[in-house]
Structure 1
């Protein structure tokens, strides 16, 4: 799909929330950032074929970014986004958890929520028959990095005591809110870990 043009029927913009889903884009259409870049705090680009985030830096006020069901891999380059608090990259092609955490800890200093479900880097005991509790424990231990401002990785289950103590965090599970209903997420519970004192 040509990225300089957009499908107006697939575009939704209301109250600083922009969604452009299911359009088979390999990159962010330039028309989106030219028209909406400085106006958007929430951006949902789910169900495309996005491989690169070129142009994302033009969304200067972005606080929440949803990139579920794309083709984002380990080589992706994230721009510096000091306001970003929520990043969802479920069902992509992330295999290197260490590399991803290192990138986002530098590029997203305000991040408090990260979801990686259905990536190779995030073992899921419920749907991956070849994964066991040991795989999840290794993932859980890696997902808490001192450089990350919050313990933010969601997974198939809530983290153990050592994970919470290490992060000085409390764990809350919640169903995605009405805003998340704009994208198909089913009845999955999302686990959110946050640092004491952070909201």
Structure 2
């Protein structure tokens, strides 16, 4: 679709919360930041094909950023957003965990909620069937060690005991970057069915909404979002 224009029926803006989902745009449409940029505290651009975050700096008041199910990879640049507290990048193309964590630690110093499920950089069975809970726990120790302000990582609260373990063991828990797949086996377009619902512990998250709770936004697009999250009792 022509990204200089937006589908006005897909835009929802209310109480400083802006959503624009399922429109297959490869970048943030300039019309969004021109119309809403300095007013937005919550931005949801899920279920697009976003590869670059150019223009994100035009949202200086941003507190929550939801970018689930896009095409964001290791080369993406992040602007400085000192007020950002929540970042959700589930089901993207991030493989280099250490490089990613170093960049967002510098650009988002207030970040306390982060979710990276279904990225190669997050080694659990949503991204790799060969991984297990011990692989995932090592990843958690490393991220918590690097980002001491985190309160939630993926679907779980950071516990005090986990934080203590991260301080003593985290620097030794670097997750090896997986080998890249051959380019011709990775079509850029998102294949139907690639998106998978992500588990979340609602009881631990309290009333927080956004990437970690029930999303209350208008959705108009080419993809049916359905139930983005499931809990264990639904399995």
Query: TM-score, with normalisation over the residues of structure 2?
Result: 0.70
Q: Which has the larger radius of gyration?
A: 2
Q: Specify the alignment match of 1:149 in structure 2.
A: 149
Q: Which runs of 5+ in 2 are unaligned?
A: 168-202, 218-224
The answer to whether the 8 A contact 2:120-2:128 is kept is: no
Alignment of 1:148-187 (within 5 A): 148-150=148-150, 152-154=152-154, 163-166=162-165, 173-174=204-205, 177=209, 180-182=215-217, 184-187=227-230
Q: Specify the alignment match of 1:120 in structure 2.
A: 120
Alignment partners' CA distance in 1, 2:127 and 2:59: 35
Q: Specify the alignment match of 2:87 in structure 1.
A: 87
The total of aligned residue pairs comes to 186
Helix, strand or coil at the partner of 1:35? helix
The answer to whether the 8 A contact 2:27-2:51 is kept is: yes
The CA RMSD over aligned residues, in Å, is 2.6
Alignment of 1:37-76 (within 5 A): 37-76=37-76
Helix, strand or coil at the partner of 2:31? helix
Q: Which runs of 5+ in 1 are unaligned?
A: 190-199
- Structure with greater strand percent: 1
Q: Label 1:162 to 1:99 Cα distance change in 2 as closer, same or farther (>3 A).
A: farther
C-alpha displacement of 1:166: 4.5
The answer to whether the 8 A contact 1:52-1:76 is kept is: yes
Deviations 1:43-101, CA, capped at 9 Å, x for gaps = 00000000000000000110000000000001110000001000000000011111111
- Structure with greater helix percent: 2
